[in-house]
Amino acid sequence: MSRPQASGDRSRAAFEVIAASSLGGRRFEPVRERLVDPDLRAAAGRLRLPAGSLNFLIAECPLPVGLPDLLIASLDQVALLGRLAVGAPPILSEPATRLVANLSTTRPATVDSLAGLLGSTKRQGSRVLLGLAKLGAAYREGDRWFRAAGFEPVGRTYALEAKVDDWRSGLDQCLRYGAYADSTTLVLPRMSEKVRTSAVGRFSALGVGLYVDGRWLVRPRLSRLKAAKRLLASEYVLAALGDTVSLSSSKQP
């Protein structure tokens, strides 16, 4: 069940859902961390999200590298409709999404060229491509391969992590999430003046947001992720949303 929440500087509506997928397991949530939950949601509500986006707040949303305390999926509605039209279930295999990301809807690619690009054997590449074709994510004309139109990232992902006081551990987690999420933020209820100056400089240099005691000390920057990383994160989001966006389930390639 989803419920609307305020999100974004202009109070754009968002829907909060519990992740439908359980990849990566369920995180351990200490009681102390729950005390930061209001700050976590306040930070989420003050992120700058793309205008006209369809926004979801996903609790315990798995990513390939763990479970952020809260993930905002800011979906482009045109891209989402295009992805849904493909009909393929969420593809959560990194080799498979790397292959898809290196395919074009207009420029042909051969198994040999893709295998060489990805460092796999021709047999391995062919097997993954055939699995993608079965799902409808790719197709071939003779020995030439193409990506299905509409199979692309459906929006941006914003990962938020809450800590009571261990900001170094929180920063490490944000950096891990940043390998796939477009933006990461650490939320703290407090931070001593003694460490603020050095911490602010470090977070700014790394592009990680820092939200302390109800205000931004550092606003997060959007990462310049490779297409394959963004695509895999997008597929994880679709898996987490489940029936909310009506994607079918099927065997993975």
Q: Cβ distance 111 to 120 under 8 Å?
A: no
Q: Can you give the pLDDT of all 253 residues of the chain as single tens digits? A: 344 343 444 335 567 777 765 554 445 455 566 778 899 999 999 999 999 999 999 988 899 998 999 999 999 999 999 999 999 999 999 999 999 999 999 999 999 999 888 888 899 999 999 999 999 999 999 999 999 999 999 999 999 999 998 999 999 999 999 999 999 999 999 999 989 988 999 999 999 999 999 999 999 999 999 999 999 999 999 999 987 776 533 445 5
Rounded Cα–Cα distance for residues 139 and 33 (Å): 47
User: Which pLDDT tens digit goes with each residue over 162-218?
Assistant: 999 899 999 999 999 999 999 999 999 999 998 998 899 999 999 999 999 999 999
For the chain, the structural domain boundaries read 3-79+155-218
pTM value > 0.85: yes
Distances (CA, A) of 157 to 64, 124, 172, 246: 13, 30, 18, 19
